[in-house]
Amino acid sequence: MDNIKIANVFDEMADLLEFRGENPFRIRAYRNGSRALRELDESVAAILQDPSRDLSQLPGIGKTLLDKTKELVRTGSLPQLEKLRAEVPEVVIAMARIPGLGAKKAALLNQHLTLRTLDDLRRACEQDCVSGLKGFGSKTQQVILDGLEIAEQAAQRLYWSQGDELVEALTAHMQRCDEVLRMEWAGSYRRGRETVGDLDLLVVASDRGKVMDHFEAFNQRSQTILRGDTKASIRVGKAFQVDLRLVESEQFGAALQYFTGSQAHNVQLRKLAKHKGLKVNEYGVFRIEDESRVCGSTEEEVYQSVDLQWIPPELREGRQEFAKAKENDLPKLLEVDQVLGDLHMHTTDTDGEATIREMADAALSRGLHYIAITDHSQRVSMAMGLGTERLRKQWEQIDAIRPDYEGRLIILKGIECDILEKGGMDLPDDCLAEADWVLAAIHYGQKQDQKQITDRLLGAIANPNVDCVAHPTGRLLNRRNPYDVDMDAVMSAAKQHRKLLELNANPARLDLNDVHLASAKKRSIPIVISTDAHSTDGLDVMRYGVMQARRGGLVAGDVANTLSWKELKQRWL
Write the CATH number for 406.
Answer: 3.20.20.140
pLDDT (tens digit per residue) in 257-291: 999 999 999 999 999 999 999 999 999 999 999 99
Same domain, 205 and 305: no
Question: Does residue 344 register a pLDDT over 90?
Answer: yes
Question: Does residue 22 register a pLDDT over 90?
Answer: no
In a domain, 314, yes or no: yes
Question: Does residue 101 register a pLDDT over 80?
Answer: no
CB contact at 8 A, 252 and 208: no
pLDDT at residue 1, as a whole number: 78
Question: Does residue 524 register a pLDDT over 60?
Answer: yes
pLDDT at residue 19, as a whole number: 77
Please give the tally of structural domains in the chain. Answer: 5
pLDDT at residue 128, as a whole number: 93
Highest mean pLDDT of the ranges 24-33, 144-153, 346-355: 346-355
CB contact at 8 A, 529 and 546: yes
In a domain, 255, yes or no: no
pLDDT-based confidence at residue 123 (cuts at 50, 70, 90): very high
Kindly state the average pLDDT of the residues 294-319: 96
Q: What is the mean pLDDT of the chain?
A: 93
Question: Does residue 373 register a pLDDT over 90?
Answer: yes
Question: Does residue 438 register a pLDDT over 80?
Answer: yes
pLDDT at residue 35, as a whole number: 85
In a domain, 254, yes or no: no
Same domain, 275 and 220: no
Distance CA 493, CA 514 (A): 20
In a domain, 396, yes or no: yes
pLDDT-based confidence at residue 481 (cuts at 50, 70, 90): confident
Question: Does residue 217 register a pLDDT over 80?
Answer: yes
Same domain, 58 and 109: no
Sort residue 224 into left (φ over 0), alpha (ψ -120 to 50) or beta.
beta
CATH at residue 73: 1.10.150.110
Kindly state the average pLDDT of the residues 332-337: 97
pLDDT at residue 96, as a whole number: 78
In a domain, 256, yes or no: no
Same domain, 462 and 529: yes
Please identify, among 294, 326, 358, the residue that sits at the C-terminal boundary of a domain: 326
Q: At what angle do helices 3-19 and 24-38 cross, to 10 degrees?
A: 160
CATH at residue 109: 1.10.150.20
Kindly state the average pLDDT of the residues 298-303: 97
Same domain, 299 and 368: no
Distance CA 129, CA 395 (A): 65
pLDDT-based confidence at residue 91 (cuts at 50, 70, 90): confident
pLDDT-based confidence at residue 154 (cuts at 50, 70, 90): low
440: which residues sit within 8 A by CB, 6+ positions away? 417, 418, 419, 425, 457, 460, 461, 463, 466, 468, 469, 470
Same domain, 498 and 565: yes
Same domain, 424 and 551: yes
Burial (CB count within 10 angstroms: exposed 0-12, middle 13-18, buried 19+), residue 281:
middle
Kindly state the average pLDDT of the residues 435-451: 96
Question: Which of residues 112 and 531 earns the better pLDDT score?
Answer: 531
Question: Does residue 435 register a pLDDT over 60?
Answer: yes
With H, G, I as helix, E, B as strand and everything else as coil, classify residue 384: coil
Distance CA 510, CA 507 (A): 6
pLDDT-based confidence at residue 299 (cuts at 50, 70, 90): very high
In a domain, 399, yes or no: yes
pLDDT-based confidence at residue 147 (cuts at 50, 70, 90): confident
**DSSP string spanning 49-86?**
H-TT--GGGSTT--HHHHHHHHHHHHHS--HHHHHHHH
pLDDT-based confidence at residue 492 (cuts at 50, 70, 90): very high
**DSSP string spanning 96-164?**
HTSTTT-HHHHHHHHHHS--SSHHHHHHHHHTT-STTSTT--HHHHHHHHHHHHHHHHHTSPEEHHHHH
Question: Does residue 155 register a pLDDT over 70?
Answer: no
Q: Percentage of the chain surpassing pLDDT 70?
A: 99
Same domain, 348 and 373: yes
| pTM of the full structure | 0.86
Question: Which of residues 41 and 68 earns the better pLDDT score?
Answer: 68
In a domain, 109, yes or no: yes
**Which domain range does residue 543 map to?**
336-572
pLDDT-based confidence at residue 104 (cuts at 50, 70, 90): confident
Distance CA 405, CA 65 (A): 59
pLDDT (tens digit per residue) in 44-88: 888 888 888 888 888 888 888 999 999 999 998 899 988 988 888
Same domain, 190 and 300: no
Same domain, 378 and 437: yes
Distance CA 350, CA 148 (A): 41
pLDDT (tens digit per residue) in 180-194: 999 999 999 999 999
In a domain, 257, yes or no: no
Please identify, among 277, 298, 326, the residue that sits at the C-terminal boundary of a domain: 326
Max CA separation in the chain (angstroms): 80
Please identify, among 130, 154, 178, the residue that sits at the C-terminal boundary of a domain: 154
Same domain, 234 and 267: no
Same domain, 295 and 352: no
